[in-house]
Amino acid sequence: MKLFTIACLLMSFVASVQSATSAWSTYEKKDRQWYVSPNARQVAENILSWQSDLGSWPKNLDTTKEPFAADRKSLKGTFDNGATVGEVRFLARIFTITKDSRFHDSFLKGLDHILAAQYATGGWPQAYPPGKGYARHITFNDDTMVHLLELVRDIGNKKDFSFIDDKRREASQESFRRGIDCILKCQVIVNGKRTVWCAQHDEIDFSPRPARSFELVSLSGAESARILRLLMTLENPGPGVVEAIESGVKWFESAKLTGIRQIKVDGDKRIISDPNALPLWARFYEIETTRPFFSGRDGIKKYDISQIEAERRNGYAWYGSWGEEVSKAYHAWKARADSGLKSNVQ
């Protein structure tokens, strides 16, 4: 019964996150005609109502579904889990089509908040102002920094954002450059060799940092895959970027886990032997040993997923196919490099 209750709670939370994030991919596919419809305007009105006074939006909520109706003082914006980035992109699109100045002003407020939140060292905290907790660290967790970098790159270069003043577009281009430089400085070096990244890094000295009690200092299989894929989209990458990519890809190959498969028995995750299983990668690896590890809310490192409590075992992505995504992107990147063609990813 306890496992069933936990599973239900997790399903409810995951559903809310998926609803909040899937909405943006749905709206990206809408045509121009939809954006001038009453439905689109209502979605935009809802988004405006959820924007905090600082310019950001909350996470794990579908801010397009209905208007915010509570005390505005309770609105807490963040960049975590795709928050703020999705809203900013939507507002840019609907303003371009409708020319409604309120959408323009809200967009600029969101963009200015994002630019102001970037550290001098090039990274972003999970939320701004960052406070004194772990959220102040440079946050790669759940692809937070990657989402922000993709956004400022698009704002600085894509025609879709040509309505923005030159000063902000130039600031966005510089923001992207600083962010990539930050990524290179954060790449963890072990015994003189570049590896990959932790999910969080110190905002001053770039060193790996922990977050929640079960998110210890580590090399992250999940977040590092997304970082490498971003680096592979850069046009005319310099030697530093090339070295970062090559080193990261080698690390993923060395960290590959074979002969095991993850299954669920009565809603509970288990790892079994299977010589025919596709490779897996762990979410967290020890920096010194590259040994996969797991941790519950007690913050104690374990080397077997069955040794942590069911709530954390089933409520977190401890294994994934992240290395396959890296390998696929790397082969395409190498093919472009060998043919002398620029990346067509903007």
- Contact between 278 and 288 under an 8 Å Cβ cutoff? The reply is no
Tell whether omega for the bond before 129 is within 30 degrees of 0, i.e. cis: yes
Distance between CA atoms of residues 230 and 330, nearest Å: 11
Cβ contacts of residue 129 below 8 Å, gap of 6+? none
CA neighbor of 103 nearest in space, from 93, 118, 116, 114: 93
Please give the full DSSP string across 211-253, using - where no structure is assigned. Answer: -STT--S-EEHHHHHHHHHHHTT-SS--HHHHHHHHHHHHHHH
Longest dimension (CA), the chain: 60
Q: How many C-alpha atoms does 108 have within 13 Å on its Cβ side?
A: 15
Which ranges in 99-235 belong to alpha helices (H)? 101-117, 144-157, 166-186, 221-231
Task: Give the active site residue among 41, 177, 212, 261.
Answer: 212
- Contact between 176 and 149 under an 8 Å Cβ cutoff? The reply is yes
Can 312 be counted among the known catalytic residues? no
Can 81 be counted among the known catalytic residues? yes
Catalytic positions: 81, 212
